[in-house]
Amino acid sequence: MYVCVCRGVTESALREAIYQGANRMRDLKACLGITEQCGLCASHAKQILDETLSQKSQVQSFIPQSACVCKTAA
Q: Tell me: the pLDDT tens digits for 8-30?
A: 999 999 999 999 999 999 999 99
- The answer to whether residue 73 sits within a structural domain is no
Q: Tell me: the pLDDT tens digits for 41-64?
A: 999 999 999 999 999 888 776 656
Q: Please provide the average confidence, as pLDDT, over all residues in the chain.
A: 86
- The answer to whether residue 74 sits within a structural domain is no
Q: 56 CB contacts (<8 Å, ≥6 apart)? A: 18, 19
14 lies in which domain range?
2-67
- The answer to whether residue 72 sits within a structural domain is no
Share of the chain above pLDDT 70, in %: 81
* Count of domains for the chain: 1
* Distance (Å, whole) CA 34 – CA 45: 8
What is the domain-level CATH number for residue 54? 1.10.10.1100
pLDDT, position 72: 46
- The answer to whether residue 53 sits within a structural domain is yes
Share of the chain above pLDDT 90, in %: 73
